Amino acid sequence: MIFRKKAQGATEYIIIVGVVIIIALIVVIAMGGIPGIGRGATGRAIASYWATADVAITDYAISAGGTDTVIVKNNLRNQITLTDVVVNSVDLETSTTTIAPGGSKTYTGSIAACTAGQSFSYSTNIYYQDTKTSAYYNFTGDGNKLEGTCAS
């Protein structure tokens, strides 16, 4: 009888340790700790960050063909005037553009040369003026870069 209780305790201990290890692996994979496995979650988090920012980039595509697209949206309550939009050190705004709350502006051009399937990560600066307060702002994404995969 004594041996059975010790065996039961050891079995329970092994099962608990196994469950803890499985949970730890799931967390590590979800956080991107293993290269290539958690990369999708990081990409979705960055896209979500940019889409919900005050002056957002709701969609972007960098292609090997050189026709790149960036859509900037005004998520603020006031109308803004974009004075400069810079992605990967390429100036996309040639003059100034006024965007109403909820409105957007689509930029097309050549941001970078890339190979289809290759990953990219570009710094972004959006310079704008709040037309109600006349204050100027420079939004850099708080260190978050535009990231994705180059399209064909």
Would you give per-residue pLDDT tens digits along the chain (152 residues)? 555 566 788 889 999 999 999 999 888 777 766 655 555 566 678 888 999 999 999 999 888 877 899 999 999 999 999 999 999 999 998 889 999 999 999 999 888 888 888 888 899 999 999 999 999 999 998 888 988 888 88
pLDDT score recorded for residue 127: 96
pLDDT score recorded for residue 8: 81
Task: Specify if 70 maps to a domain.
Answer: yes
Task: Specify if 98 maps to a domain.
Answer: yes
pLDDT score recorded for residue 148: 86
Expressed as residue numbers, the domain containing 80 is: 55-149
The Cα–Cα gap between 39 and 27 comes to 13
- Number of domains into which the chain is organized: 1
Task: Specify if 103 maps to a domain.
Answer: yes
Report the sign of the C-alpha dihedral through residues 131, 137, 138, 140, in that order.
Answer: negative
Task: Specify if 143 maps to a domain.
Answer: yes
pLDDT score recorded for residue 3: 57
Q: Which long-range contacts (C-beta less than 8 Å, at least 24 apart) are formed by 16-19? A: none
Assign residue 115 the CATH number of its domain: 2.60.40.10
Task: Specify if 114 maps to a domain.
Answer: yes
pTM of the entire predicted model: 0.70
